[in-house]
Structure 1
């Protein structure tokens, strides 16, 4: 495991670039993984939070403006996601700006909510300000959770000692199960 951390520390530019690209479309797993690496000293937590929040902000802004200025051209591409767009519209009407924050944590709605808001007549500046605040809150909360979980992981890893590869496989299996749960939970039930 130490070899992986050393490799990441020596190539941190690529890790930060990957975090940026992945955070454009959501990035929950990326910021958690980066924060775990920050706890081990491979990356800088402040830089990871800044990169993730800026990328998440830019990704949502891009989706919002894409929907706002390309409504007629974009609607046919979302025909398969009509139910999810309708749900996003309902949630937006019911909860208002709060849905912009909560959707950042909900798998399956992360990309559709800014599109649904872009299809509406929501104020551009208001969306920009709310989105910026929500992106910072999102990156800070997940970054801190991942960082403190990383401290716990490091303590457990030190106790295990020679079985670091087994620990890494267990950690990857847990992340895979979390991803599987969220992907199944967001599927339409027939």
Structure 2
């Protein structure tokens, strides 16, 4: 029942506030809000490219703010309290081993989504490096989860036979798949170069 109420409240927020809810929800709520935004785009209530952009910008800005807070307030009690948590230590250990890969992937890792940008902010990662990788990761994350909401939002049955995208929205799904494929291919290429 609680999950149903939560889903309804997210749907109500998007129905009322549209892309602004997706923008804010991408930074605060995360995947659930972006998936719901993709569903609303499928229903024709939101623009698919607008939903992708709102989610990417919302996620990017939230993580930039958390990174800046970690960098600016390293000695503050709430950052010190966060540093005592196991997730914070795990984030720093993973960052040390795979700096670029971790910055790209932390938003996809359960339990590390919120603490990671703060942890990275307390590290020696340059601001410009974080901005660049965070931007690419935010776009990839947004395109992935918006597309999942768009394609799977009305059920598997529609995917296997009755799925009919609205107008030019199909082009955006193809573009999304292309972006994800290029991002994945680029990441694998980068990993192979690092190993050599």
Unaligned 5+ runs, structure 1: 1-7, 160-190
Match of 2:80 among 76, 79, 82: 76
Q: Distance in 2 between matches of 1:23 and 1:47?
A: 13
Conservation of the 8 A alpha-carbon contact between 1:26 and 1:110: no
Conservation of the 8 A alpha-carbon contact between 1:52 and 1:139: yes
Q: Any idea what the Cα deviations from partners look like across 1:133-164, whole Å, max 9, x if unmatched?
A: 110011011111221113546839xx9xxxxx
1:124 matched residue in structure 2:
127
Q: Distance in 1 between matches of 2:109 and 2:16?
A: 29
Question: Residue 127 of structure 1: SS of its match in structure 2?
Answer: helix
- Superposition map of 1:26-41 within 5 A: 27-41=30-44
Q: TM-score, normalised by structure 1?
A: 0.70
Q: Any idea what the Cα deviations from partners look like across 1:8-44, whole Å, max 9, x if unmatched?
A: 8xx8560322211111135111111110111111111
Superposed CA RMSD: 2.4
Kindly report structure 1 stretches of 4+ aligned residues shifted beyond 2 Å. Answer: 74-77, 150-156
* 1:16 and 2:43 correspond: no
Conservation of the 8 A alpha-carbon contact between 1:104 and 1:110: yes
Q: TM-score, normalised by structure 2?
A: 0.68
2:194 matched residue in structure 1:
none
Unaligned 5+ runs, structure 2: 1-10, 163-196
1:136 matched residue in structure 2:
139
Match of 1:109 among 109, 112, 119: 112
